[in-house]
Chains A and B, each alone.
Chain A
Amino acid sequence: MAKTARLTLFAPLLAIIFPSLPAFAQGDYRSGGKLLLTGGVTSVEGASGGGLATWSTIAGDETERGIGASASATWIETRDFGMTAFGGKIGLFDRVELSYARQRFDTNAAGAALGLGAGFAFGQDVFGAKLRLFGDAVYDQDRFLPQVSIAVQHKHANRGAVIGAIGGRDDSGTDYVLSATKIILDKSLVLGGAARLTKANQFGLLGFGGDRQGAATVQFEGSAGVLVSHKLLVGAEYRSKPDNLSFAQEDDAYDLFAAYALHRHLTVTAAYVDLGDIATVKAQRGFFLSMQAGF
């Protein structure tokens, strides 16, 4: 009895999230079919997006009738630090995205100067879920309305002791992201904006909340790109970050990127990034390279 009651509540909810589910149930499942690049590339947190900014896109090559997925590997090398992120994401009916990424932040030689020991590395797991709410970035060319999504990203950093020592409050936290993306085809432009409610210090690698600011703050992410060809998007991104720790000021991040579809199933993103000062080490600028393979 209770079970059927729960089911009757659950069914309409499913119908709202996946309007094409009845077709799916009738065996109308269909994989592939998305337009090139419209599933986005991969952000550092493993969700579909640009390099630094979140887009409202849903990962994978699927349409509303299928399931898609992609795997990604990202390398960032700044003057003193190195970072890698490996992840995977699943796109369900071009409506819901589930993602996971494992980040590693290598202090290289600077680790010794910071008193952590040379080669000391911070790590973090990021579990994400994104829901496309309304709008269509690609087809709604006759409307101003962008494609809007909400996302949660639960992050767990692995260096709790160091995080505590530098004034961080927590080694795990949850970000909430509201994002809007729009392709303006007749200008060959892609524009995106996002608001992120977060406590994360350096994406979360240095923990969540701090001795200067303990509460979550709203941060902004913006991206603008030009479609140069059907395979190439070139643009810039900006991401503001909280400044929660008193031992080191945290800067906003910028990048200039080029995302290129080598193939329907393989996209490479190369960028110049400026992450600003990180943990008192000045001016961390460098290169960003990300590969994404998907279907």
Chain B
Amino acid sequence: MLTMFLLLLASAQVSMTVPAGEEPVEPYVIQDSNAGATPYKTDRWFKAFHGQPGIDRIVESFMDRNIADPVIGEIFKNQDDVRIRRTLKEQICYLLGGGCAYTGRDMKGAHQNMGVQTADFNALVENLQWAMREEGIAFAAQNKLLAKLAPMKRDVVER
């Protein structure tokens, strides 16, 4: 049993190195399934998001808006903004079939003890919709991403 566990530990990639500009986090197993949903099998929606440059622009304006938001801005204070932006860009690329690896934590772990409520979740969704509109993403493509994110409410929102 113990050897099984050690084998598992050795085979799994455990995050150790801290990317530049980020703060260290508790070690966790890096795996794509942490992204919280399975990706689309085509890169059609990744392309509809104007590829990685488009996703990067969306995440930047989205996070700026979250931080400035009167309702949820407070939750983002004193958090590792550099890390959230990097992992979000990976996550969206991954979910839209862009072929990225997701190296962040799972949604439950990342939002633990944050006290996020449904109204906060919805405020964040509306900020994302705004950022996608700013980037000129077709509405049907926007909903392709939102369909992947919506069930994550169960892991992000604490009752």
Q: Which residues of A contact B (CB under 8 A)?
A: 19-20, 23, 30, 32-36, 63-66, 94, 138-143, 185-188, 227-230
Given contacts A139-B150, A139-B154, A185-B150, contact A64 B118 (CB under 8 A): yes
Checking A20, A35, A139, A230 against B151 with a beta-carbon cut-off of 8 angstroms, the contacting residue is A139
Neighbouring B residues of A33 by C-beta, 8 Å: 117-120, 122-123
Q: Are B119 and A185 neighbours in the complex by a CB distance under 8 Å?
A: no
In chain B, positions 123-147 with a C-beta closer than 8 Å to chain A are 123, 125-126, 129, 133, 139-140, 143-144, 146-147
Neighbouring A residues of B122 by C-beta, 8 Å: 33-35, 63
| 14 further contact pairs, Cβ within 8 A, besides A141-B146, A185-B144 | A20-B159, A33-B120, A33-B123, A35-B125, A64-B118, A139-B150, A139-B153, A185-B143, A185-B146, A185-B147, A188-B140, A229-B139, A230-B129, A230-B133
Neighbouring A residues of B120 by C-beta, 8 Å: 33
How many angstroms between the C-alpha atoms of A95 and B147 in the bound complex? 23
Asked whether any CB of chain A lies closer than 8 Å to the CB of B37, the reply is: yes
Q: Helix, strand, loop or mixed for chain A's interface?
A: loop
Neighbouring A residues of B139 by C-beta, 8 Å: 188, 227-230
Neighbouring A residues of B143 by C-beta, 8 Å: 185-188, 227
How many angstroms between the C-alpha atoms of A170 and B147 in the bound complex? 47
In chain B, positions 86-137 with a C-beta closer than 8 Å to chain A are 117-120, 122-123, 125-126, 129, 133
What are some 9 contacts across the A-B interface (CB < 8 A)?
A23-B159, A30-B119, A34-B119, A65-B117, A138-B150, A185-B144, A186-B144, A188-B140, A227-B139
Neighbouring B residues of A185 by C-beta, 8 Å: 143-144, 146-147, 150
Return B39 CB to nearest CB of chain A, in Å: 13
Q: Are A142 and B117 neighbours in the complex by a CB distance under 8 Å?
A: no
Neighbouring B residues of A188 by C-beta, 8 Å: 139-140, 143
How many angstroms between the C-alpha atoms of A140 and B148 in the bound complex? 10
Neighbouring A residues of B146 by C-beta, 8 Å: 141, 185
